[in-house]
Structure 1
Amino acid sequence: MHQDTERCIRAVQSRDSRFDGWFFTAVLSTGIYCRPSCPVPPPKVVNMRFMPTSAAAQQAGFRACKRCRPDASPGSPEWNQRADLTARAMRLIADGVVDRSGVSGLASRLGYSVRQVERHLREELGTGPLALARAQRAQTARLLLEGTGLPMADVAFAAGFSSVRSFNDTVREVFALAPTELRRRGAGSELAAPGVLTVRLPFREPLCPDNLFGHLVETAVPGVEEWRDGAFRCSLRLGTGHAIASLRPMPQHVVCELVLSDLRHLSTAIARCRRLLDLDADPVAVDDALRADPVLQPLVDAAPGRRVPRTTDPEGFAVRAVLGQQVSTAAARTHAARLVVAHGTPIDDPHGGLTHLFPEPSSLASLDPARLAFPTSRRHAVLRLVEALADGSVDLGAGGDWQEARARLAALPGIGPWTVEMIAMRALGDPDAFVPSDLGVRAAAQRLGLPSTPGALTRRGAPWRPWRAYAVQYLWAVGDHPVNQMPS
């Protein structure tokens, strides 16, 4: 996007918020960088330079605009719709891999050398993984400074800085303000409740919350997920710690309240919540593509901005998907809840009814198949999947290869195309995942006059690519089902 100069210029001159996060405008005459929708008068074209990331702008010596706060724009949808090395690296950096394991850990997860990863990111993004991680730390620091009353030292370490000095230097360099000045300019509010951090998660409009929250609540596993007081709440496993997230949709943002066992996991928790709600999607591009089909057009026009509900725990979701094969949603929740009670990690939830983290694959390795109340073939499928997840032969993480994961899942006994594609849709985050054999999809297709057999529907839906996962959300909306209704 940032290399299409004419398109970028038009977006800046029209202050088009749809492109916020797609690219950043560095202004040579002022030394600042902005989002396309910055409210100040657009600079002269001769003074514009376009950057793919805020990190690249910072690396080139530009400071963040104090008016439009470009670092707080939604993330680029490219990193969630692409499956190449750069996109996989960006997803891992957002998940905190560089802060936890360094650049060598990032390269290891990607299966490349450090030199290859550095060269590839610099060639495409103009900066390397350390600068990208540093930009993320700076944004986290700003959120904490402007939205909480945490002491400065706590802010520094919660944002991932190794020292208060590096925190101070980075904030001054990126924002041209001292940390204390940033706090004075922000809301400066105290924690919403003892131990609770509150942040706003921005998104590109429109957003249809009905199917997004309706689906999450309808498939919620008791003890791990719940709907309470107008918010979807879930427990998150974060390395050596955990968090409880409460997510409440608002007209222009999602309110995210977090209780963290370790503040250093804050940026990872935010990234996973954004991914869960698909908040970095570009709904205008998706909906425009799907509107081209006259059958889908009325569905899109009726409720534009549908997102794909995803997950904060890819491995746990894969286990849940296998448990849910050929049974009702209620039965799948019951099976998953039994695993949680028997093998999950207990947690305390002072503000709700969450009791556990969903069990890790390693903790399910000793699972007694006789305790699984379904056919032998499905018991075997669950055990083989758990083994493959535990030994790493199936990688569903943020940096995993989508097609390789599909192939390895399909090779496991008892895992069919529906399960593979549901995992691809919600765990891997592939925007083109498609489930033509799903009963809800087939019923919708028949009602709309589309082919209802999987092969014929796949051929008919070819023009929906690469957004078939979103087409599924619109097809599911044809039926009167709780997944399409946000709880009251």
Structure 2
Amino acid sequence: MIADHALSWRPRHPTDLRQTLGALRRGGGDPAFALDATGAVWRTTRTAEGDATLRLTQPDAETLRCEAWGPGAGAAVAQAPELLGDADDPTGFEPRLPLLDDAHRRNPGLRIPRTAQVFEALAATILEQKVITLQAHDSWRRLVTRFGQPAPGPTPRPMRVVPSPEAWRTIPSWEWHRAGVDPKRARTLQNAAGYADRLEAVVAMSPADAAARLTLMPGVGPWTVAEVAQRALGDADAVSVGDYHLANYVGHALAGRDMTDDEMLETLEPWRGHRYRVVRLLGAAGVPGRPRRGPRMAFVDHRAI
């Protein structure tokens, strides 16, 4: 099927398609994200012009291509270079440690993506608050499948477009319950949906102003802001302070010990401007971080409450 819009370009920096976009996938069953046997990445999104399905490919090491279908295809294709990290500027990044130098050398195509879709990222992030990742991904899959629109164009499997803010606001309480989402997260997401247009404006703001705007929303704190900034704003410096595992992961990866959030930030200070890049590089290199000895965060089945 011929795409409604398409674009091929040579990225400014080496870019690994799957590695760069992997941060946007919300689990293997994400209805808005798919991989196919050819190596293509499929992604759905909502734009100001309407819904779109994107097929992103890497014909060769120096070329990227985006094909898109749907009423929002033109806008989605225009955003595709930034989606794949064209605005990510690694200038000034100094690995400083042999571990990071090796990770940086082995992963030259790892870019920080920028979707420019703030509420889309915020909705998924709110579902990830205070629960294990597996549980959050299950809730995301259930709600997007149930309330999202069918993806336009051809897709390798049935896909959905993330619900509109209006759709999120009208999800009844029993559907949140069935999806395993507690009332606090449901209220936070539905309240934010009422301000979606104002939230989208943060794409043109400085990181500090964007954070200030986002934290005006009840239930949105520094961790949520950082997770949104990493994906929607392409912020290579955003650190997820307050994460259940991150401080200890970074602590063991870089210093061989547990750390508090404050200690993690102090340790990452030499890489200010690229602190999220450091975290991504550690993950891409397979650095194990803290040995698993203590209890893991429990799966809380809110449907049983």
TM-score, length of structure 1 as denominator length: 0.52
In the alignment, what sits opposite 2:85?
Answer: 278
Determine if the alignment matches structure 1 residue 233 to structure 2 residue 38: no
DSSP 3-state at the match of 2:124? helix
1: distance between equivalents of 2:49 and 2:29?
22
Q: Mark the structure with the bigger radius of gyration.
A: 1
User: What's the offset of the Cα at 1:316?
Assistant: 1.2
Identity %: 25
Determine if the alignment matches structure 1 residue 424 to structure 2 residue 229: yes
Determine if the alignment matches structure 1 residue 339 to structure 2 residue 148: no
Q: Counterparts of 1:51-62 in structure 2 under 5 Å?
A: none
User: What's the offset of the Cα at 1:342?
Assistant: 3.3
Determine if the alignment matches structure 1 residue 248 to structure 2 residue 53: no
Determine if the alignment matches structure 1 residue 379 to structure 2 residue 186: yes
CA contact (8 A) 1:273 1:312 kept: no
The one-letter code sitting in structure 1 at the alignment partner of 2:7 is V
In the alignment, what sits opposite 1:206?
Answer: 14
1: distance between equivalents of 2:285 and 2:254?
9
Q: Counterparts of 1:74-93 in structure 2 under 5 Å?
A: none
Aligned pair partner of 2:259 in 447, 452, 456: 452
1: distance between equivalents of 2:50 and 2:184?
35
CA RMSD of aligned residues (A): 2.9
1: distance between equivalents of 2:231 and 2:20?
12
User: What's the offset of the Cα at 1:357?
Assistant: 1.8
CA contact (8 A) 1:200 1:256 kept: yes
In the alignment, what sits opposite 1:477?
Answer: 284
1: distance between equivalents of 2:159 and 2:14?
34
TM-score, length of structure 2 as denominator length: 0.79
1:59-107 C-alpha deviation (Å, 9 max, x unpaired): xxxxxxxxxxxxxxxxxxxxxxxxxxxxxxxxxxxxxxxxxxxxxxxxx
In the alignment, what sits opposite 1:464?
Answer: 271
**Distance of aligned partners of 1:332 and 1:309 in 2 relative to their CA distance in 1, 3 Å threshold:** farther
1:328-351 C-alpha deviation (Å, 9 max, x unpaired): 333222212222233323344334
User: What's the offset of the Cα at 1:256?
Assistant: 1.7
DSSP 3-state at the match of 1:461? helix
1:167-217 C-alpha deviation (Å, 9 max, x unpaired): xxxxxxxxxxxxxxxxxxxxxxxxxx4345543132133334453243344
Corresponding residue pairs, total: 281
User: What's the offset of the Cα at 1:218?
Assistant: 5.5
2: distance between equivalents of 1:259 and 1:350?
8
2: distance between equivalents of 1:364 and 1:357?
12
User: What's the offset of the Cα at 1:457?
Assistant: 1.3
**Distance of aligned partners of 1:242 and 1:380 in 2 relative to their CA distance in 1, 3 Å threshold:** closer
